[in-house]
Structure 1
Amino acid sequence: MENTVYIETGKRIREARERKSLTQQELGDLVGLKRTSITNIESGRQKFMFHMIYEFSTALGVSLQELIPKKSDLIQNESAAPKFKNLDKDAANFLDSILTKTKQKLELGDDSYEK
């Protein structure tokens, strides 16, 4: 499940970057990462600190909500489904709780997420 979150988030980052017509190098320069890190993040191969979601959303001009996957997105991802089904119920509920609370705070305009 953990990897699925990174894969789905990377996909969303790549889509937002392409909509903005930025290269991976340009995005890397904006967020302080190397192009190879952007490549690996977009493919879900590289984990990153959660605060980087804020950096990506600012650089790409999108909301944080747009970059954070929903539980349903994670389940619908065919390659992720087996991993999600095998995940411990408590771990799945915990992850869902974190994602839900984060989205709720963002929807309420809580911008207390710091860099």
Structure 2
Amino acid sequence: MNGPANVAGLRERERRAERIGAAVTALPDVAGLSAGPRAQVVTYRVGAPYTGVAVRDGEIEVGVVARRGRPLPQVADAVRGAVLPLADGLPVNVLIADIQDDASSGGSEGS
């Protein structure tokens, strides 16, 4: 499908990825977003892709760099909980791509 409806759909996908990214990076246990080890957790848009959130037709995938301390399953649950209200009923998969010490700086591949 081409034309204005397709463009509007792509823009909504971009906006959803950005809203999800903002919600996830506001979590205290998330140091940043990550495209993952194969750089596949991305949403394509005009310009550079939005890394760390992949809004797909059948799912949403979020890649994060977790802060050390909290058990990783709890971090993943917190991420999923932040994303579900924005997911429009789509399943949410969480990839913890890395762990950052509080003393460390960097380590995330933000957008």
Q: Higher helix proportion, which one? A: 1
TM tier relative to shorter chain: 0.3 to 0.5
